[in-house]
Structure 1
Amino acid sequence: MPPSRRRPAVTGAALAALLAATGLTGCANEPEAGTVTVLNSATDTHEHEQNQKYFDRCARPLGVKVKQTSVPADQVSAKALRMASSHSLTDILELDGSEVAQFADTGGLLPLAETGVDVSGLSKSAVSMGSFRGTQYGIARSVNSLALIYNVDLLKKAGVRPPATWDELKSTARKLTRGKTFGMAFSATPDADGVYQFLPFFWTGDGDEARLDDGKGAPALQLWKDLVTGRSASSAVVTWNQQDVNDQFIAGRAAMMINGPWQVPVLSAQKNLHWAVAQIPVPERGQAAQPPIGGTVMTLPRTEHKDRQDTAAKILNCLNERKNQVAWGESVNNVPTRTAAAKQYKKQNPKLAAFADEVATARSRTARVGARWPVVQDALSGAFQSVLTGRAEPRTALKQAQNRATSGG
């Protein structure tokens, strides 16, 4: 399951206005008795079936059934609004982590502390992803992030090790660039994919999404520019989404890439590809990487049906028991959010240990800017697109990005 969503169809002030107008907290239509309803983005057949398996496991002892309504990720917000307007919003609303702030800001979600949902033992990053202004509204069973995935054979042939620092990344990528193979690949598309991949470099370099023009994010932009202008990465990165990056890696046209654990099934299916995972390079050796935390969180919308809310809360508690988190994480190649479950997952899946380590230090995209994230995301994407296409230098691009973020468009 990809870590980031395409920009929601309705965001920011428009979302707040529509939620208020439609009355998200109302639920006039009488829901089906004995059935807990869920709105999510599990349109993939495997994910949908796995979801239903765990929903059934947790609902059966309560004497109820669970019905999923699954729509593409970029349509969840709009679908929730339409359901709210017809007073048929689901009992459980599963949102991308970056969307929680917008919905919580309207008052349409229940604080989990009021529902009996157990949020103890969660990683700090998982708590942050499901929170808004210090209150937790959502809980994730598992999360994902990014790491450096590399072709073991190509690195061995070039006599190099996985790079740990930015300087090593540039020199290693240069040595790995041969013929039609670039040393490094990443996504720099002007959308959620590109921003998700840029954030580990931006944040580890001390960039601040709330103050884009303070100059601290410029070195990260310069790093990406150096990789492209030095021909260690293709200039086509400005058009590659995360799936495109994976395709380049599988085809042997990239020796290293930034990507996430959702690519593991495809990578594992390549019999002649030997790959491994390492931490994303950082400015100075010894630093911890700070990638974004990705995935979805389950929330409980405010409705008039307290009994249904109580049942939904019990289902969330069951889904997030340690054994269920570990099993679910393994089924979707994501890292459990309870610390104890994550340790067990890491032990049982050593090849993906780097992802578990990255998640431990990952950050929520909305922690600093809250409901303003969609505007900031657009501004950031404009900055690296401008730099990589030669239209602006890093500091200038970030000043322009701050102006764009401040103006709201």
Structure 2
Amino acid sequence: MKRTSLTARTGLALAALAVPAVLTGCGGSTSASANQQVTSISVLDYYNNEPDKTFIGDALNTCAQKAGVTLDRQTITGSALIQKVLQQASSKTLPDVLMLDNPDLQQIASTGALAPLSDFKISTDGFADGVLQAGTYNGKVYGLAPTVNTIALFYNKDLLAKAGIQPPTTWDELKAAAAKLTSGSQYGIAFSAAATYEGTWQFLPFMWSNGGDEKNLDSPQNAEALQLWTDLVKDGSASSGVLNWKQADVKDQFVAGKAAMMVNGPWQLPPLDKAAGLNYGIVKLPTKNATDTEVAPLGGETWTVPQTGNKAKQAKAAEVVGCMNSDEMQLSMAKQRNTVPSKTTLAAQFASQNPKLSVFTDLIKTARARTGELGADWPKAATKIYTAVQSALTGKASPADALKQAQNNG
């Protein structure tokens, strides 16, 4: 996930329950539709902001030309996408090509709205395990992400050097460094703890790397991770503003020199590089112990072929989806968008050519799909997690009690 998997959505579970009934028979097709000549296909995605809108549009147009079709493309906001898809599934007006944020794929696949990519012989060879896991539902791959991302620790080299501090590698080092780097209007660290999927996304590496998981939210491992965040806010090393900040806000704090370190992703590289006088570095997020392995969350958008009932259009849509995930397009989009190719061999090649992304490339090797444990039920867990984070950071409950309440809620 990048920025988008992170928007809180309401009423989806109820809407999703209603969809399977109306999808019955929607995958059927007549011989006429199978033999028709297709000249245009429709696409729906949430890349509605520049420069991603243009980058993705160029990639889609290239793949459409190879497939011999033109595109009728619609872009909407990330927060509106899932509800729209559920409505389209109900009215049998799904697009021919659909982009989904990877943690949403299983929810949509569970309704019967998507076709398995194996139906079109789209190869899944060479993709990172986390990428395939994110695109899989009930043992079948329904979507593939050309490029992926995750989060790491950005630090202001000049501020750390002035304070005589090395980038922290453990939680204790992080707390000590953040406290020492806090002075006046400058905080030691910034992160997003918003009451959205974005807040959950940023908390996951701390939770997972400590051995916690979303199945048992009230575990001691999860409580330790939440205690770390609570301590950083309580002692003033992190602003209470983290409760409302999106990742873009976190970036703004870092660029303005109001945060010496931040948790963020590679999509922030362009604005960071444009910031005059900003000398920054990137390292993996600290873990509780130096010997612990960081488990990062996998971000990125998957491309799918919906069950429209028109076999000829589905075949053309599959050509576009396959092209979007080709080696050529993966490398091109990764370079343009500061993301990482999803195929492991391409990622290694890309890292050697793009050193600023080497930390993220390394993390992607073992990055975990958010739906890996709970599948289509992930959104419920994500909501519980950010609710617990908010409760603990505002002092309404201890980290352990906040997580216990979240575990027992539903």
Return the TM-score normalized by structure 2. 0.94
What whole-Å deviation, never above 9, does each CA across 1:84-142 have from its counterpart, x for those lacking one? Answer: 34432111111111111111111221122222111110001111111123321110011
| Contact persistence 1:204–1:290 (CA under 8 A) | yes
1:264 & 1:356 partners in 2: Cα distance?
A: 14
2:85 is paired with a residue whose SS is helix
Question: Which 10-residue stretch deviates more, 27-36 or 62-71?
Answer: 27-36
- Asked if residue 41 in structure 1 is aligned to residue 42 in structure 2, the reply is no
| Contact persistence 1:16–1:103 (CA under 8 A) | no
1:276 is paired with a residue whose SS is strand
2:303 & 2:10 partners in 1: Cα distance?
A: 20
Structure 2 partner of 1:219: 224
Letter in 2 for 1:222: Q
| Contact persistence 1:16–1:102 (CA under 8 A) | no
Label 1:364 to 1:24 Cα distance change in 2 as closer, same or farther (>3 A): farther
1:227 is paired with a residue whose SS is helix
Structure 2 partner of 1:138: 143
2:360 & 2:301 partners in 1: Cα distance?
A: 17
Structure 2 alignment gaps of length 5 or more: none
Instruction: Indicate which of 181, 203, 212 corresponds to 2:208.
Output: 203
1:343 & 1:160 partners in 2: Cα distance?
A: 30
Label 1:333 to 1:126 Cα distance change in 2 as closer, same or farther (>3 A): same
C-alpha deviation, 1:27, in angstroms: 8.5
* TM superposition outliers: structure 1 runs of 4+ over 4 Å: 26-32
Structure 1 partner of 2:308: 303
2:70 & 2:391 partners in 1: Cα distance?
A: 51
Structure 1 partner of 2:19: 18
C-alpha deviation, 1:26, in angstroms: 5.4
| Aligned-CA RMSD value | 2.0
2:190 is paired with a residue whose SS is coil
- Asked if residue 52 in structure 1 is aligned to residue 57 in structure 2, the reply is yes
1:183 is paired with a residue whose SS is strand
Label 1:36 to 1:183 Cα distance change in 2 as closer, same or farther (>3 A): same
Structure 1 partner of 2:97: 92
2:29 & 2:310 partners in 1: Cα distance?
A: 10
| Contact persistence 1:26–1:84 (CA under 8 A) | no
Structure 1 partner of 2:167: 162
1:290 & 1:255 partners in 2: Cα distance?
A: 23
Letter in 1 for 2:343: R
2:41 & 2:370 partners in 1: Cα distance?
A: 30
- Asked if residue 326 in structure 1 is aligned to residue 331 in structure 2, the reply is yes
| Contact persistence 2:230–2:392 (CA under 8 A) | yes
- Asked if residue 267 in structure 1 is aligned to residue 268 in structure 2, the reply is no
C-alpha deviation, 1:260, in angstroms: 0.7
- Asked if residue 284 in structure 1 is aligned to residue 289 in structure 2, the reply is yes
Letter in 1 for 2:367: A
2:11 & 2:43 partners in 1: Cα distance?
A: 20
Structure 2 partner of 1:2: 3
Structure 2 partner of 1:294: 299
2:369 & 2:13 partners in 1: Cα distance?
A: 18
Letter in 2 for 1:349: N
2:348 & 2:73 partners in 1: Cα distance?
A: 30
Letter in 1 for 2:84: K
Structure 2 partner of 1:193: 198
- Asked if residue 180 in structure 1 is aligned to residue 180 in structure 2, the reply is no
What whole-Å deviation, never above 9, does each CA across 1:9-50 have from its counterpart, x for those lacking one? Answer: 542242131353365935899899411211110111422222
2:401 is paired with a residue whose SS is helix
Return the TM-score normalized by structure 1. 0.94
1:255 is paired with a residue whose SS is strand
1:63 & 1:121 partners in 2: Cα distance?
A: 27
1:24 & 1:218 partners in 2: Cα distance?
A: 47
Count the aligned residue pairs: 405
Label 1:32 to 1:240 Cα distance change in 2 as closer, same or farther (>3 A): farther
2:61 is paired with a residue whose SS is helix
Structure 1 alignment gaps of length 5 or more: none
Letter in 1 for 2:89: A
Structure 1 partner of 2:405: 400
1:4 & 1:90 partners in 2: Cα distance?
A: 20
| Contact persistence 2:92–2:308 (CA under 8 A) | no
1:336 & 1:21 partners in 2: Cα distance?
A: 37
- Asked if residue 243 in structure 1 is aligned to residue 248 in structure 2, the reply is yes
